[in-house]
Amino acid sequence: MEHISNLVKAQVLNDALPYIQRYHDKVVVVKYGGNAMTSPELKDAVMSDIVLLSLVGIRVVLVHGGGPEISEMLKRVGIESRFVGGLRYTDAETAEIVRMVLAGKVNKELVSLLEQAGGTALGLCGSDGRMISVKKMESSEDLGFVGEITDVSVKPIADALEKGYIPVVATIATDEAGQVYNINADTAAARIAAALGAENLILMTDIKGLLADKNDESTLIPEVNVSDVPFLKKQGIISGGMIPKIDCCVEAVRRGVSKTCIIDGRLAHSILIEILSNEGVGTLFH
């Protein structure tokens, strides 16, 4: 890595000052996923970003799913996925596997990585301290045990933050009868951010942000007012897989999260740049 002069170092740190001030004691929820979760280098960068932010006084909450690891384990135990209208049907056995992989593998691995980076982390899932209340999602076709969040109790996360831990949240939950439900991680992150009164919700993705022309990264739209989202959908600028992600952003903003952004998780340290500089690295919804 190139040598950086002391002057440049000082300048960078100095430039970060107003951003550290702005976010001091504020809650930032990071929805972690995509490439940033599969590439070991990016993973390390995310972990050290989060530890750094938490050290400079920002209260970071890491929310994660774990699609690829779930698919791999389902395959390994020989569960074949049935698809309903393009979505995977979650039977009881699948739901158990999802919980096991999310809460027992991905979550604990992240806790361990954050601690290797110098942080102190605490792994949680939706059942811990009755954090996430859930019911069967209503949909035209039965999707099995896919959960819809009915309530978020932030006490377990707030307790962990107060006691100095970085909370790492696996997005599964159980209903009152103990049935496990899989929950969409973007939605869970949005609801948690709203319930915590977060200053910022950051969704890590594998794209540069919202593009005016999907095929041209130079057409990045840096900021969107949520009231313009319906128009952008009609125009087809928001389309396909972007729709649910951006609906999450809109919901988070509507529920009181000041700023929500989709950032490019393929860039190392994109979280740090997003929070501590004036150069956004994706699209901001407000």
- Identify the residue among 9, 82, 254, 286 touching a copy of itself (CB under 8 A): 9
Q: Is 65 a catalytic residue?
A: no
> Which one from 119, 126, 147, 186 is the annotated catalytic residue?
186
Distance, CA of 64 to CA of 37 (rounded, Å)? 9
Give the C-alpha separation, 68 to 227, whole Å: 34
Nearest residue (CB) to a copy of itself, 23 versus 285? 23
Q: Which of residues 21-60 bind a copy of itself (CB under 8 A)?
A: 21, 24, 45, 48-49, 51-52, 55-57
User: Is 31 annotated in the active site?
Assistant: yes
What minimum distance in Å lies between the beta carbon of 99 and a copy of itself? 6
- Please report where in the chains the tokens 């969107």 appear, as a residue: 224
Residue 91 engages a copy of itself in binding (rule: CB under 8 A): no
Task: Provide the 3-class DSSP secondary structure of residue 204.
Answer: strand
| For a copy of itself, the closer CB: 165 or 285 | 165
Residues 34, 67: Cα–Cα separation, whole Å? 9
Which residues inside 71-90 make contact with a copy of itself, applying CB under 8 A?
A: 73, 76-78
Rounded least distance, CB 92 to a copy of itself, Å = 13
Catalytic residue flag (residue 26): no
Query: 48-80 b/e with 16+ CB inside 10 Å = b?
Result: bbbbbbbeeebbbbbbbbbbebbeebbeeeeee
Burial classification of residue 40, based on how many CB atoms lie within 10 Å of its CB (0-12 exposed, 13-18 middle, 19 or more buried): exposed
223: contact with a copy of itself by CB under 8 A: no
Binding map of a copy of itself across residues 126-165, x = CB under 8 A, - = no contact:
-xxxx------------------------xx--x---x-x
Task: Give, as ranges, the residues between 230 and 269 that touch a copy of itself (CB under 8 A).
Answer: 267-269
Site membership for a copy of itself, residue 116 (CB under 8 A): yes
Measured from the Cβ of residue 219, the count of other Cβ atoms closer than 10 Å reads 14
Among 36, 61, 74, 111, which residue sits at the site for a copy of itself (rule: CB under 8 A)? Answer: 111
Task: Tell me which of 49, 147, 245, 264 is the catalytic residue.
Answer: 245
Beta 121-125 vs 87-88: how paired, if at all?
Answer: unpaired
Catalytic residue, from 33, 34, 66, 126: name it. 34
**Residue 40 or 236: which CB sits closer to a copy of itself?**
40
In angstroms, the CA 60 to CA 166 distance is: 6
Q: Which helix (H) or strand (E) holds 21?
A: helix 6-23
| Catalytic residue (choose from 26, 43, 44, 67) | 67
Min separation Cβ 161 and a copy of itself, Å: 11
In the bound complex, what is the minimum distance in angstroms from residue 107's beta carbon to a copy of itself? Answer: 7
Largest CA distance in the chain: 61
Query: Is position 7 an interface residue for a copy of itself (rule: CB under 8 A)?
Result: yes
| Residue-by-residue DSSP string for 117-146 | TT--EEEEETTGGG-EEEEEPP-SS--BSB
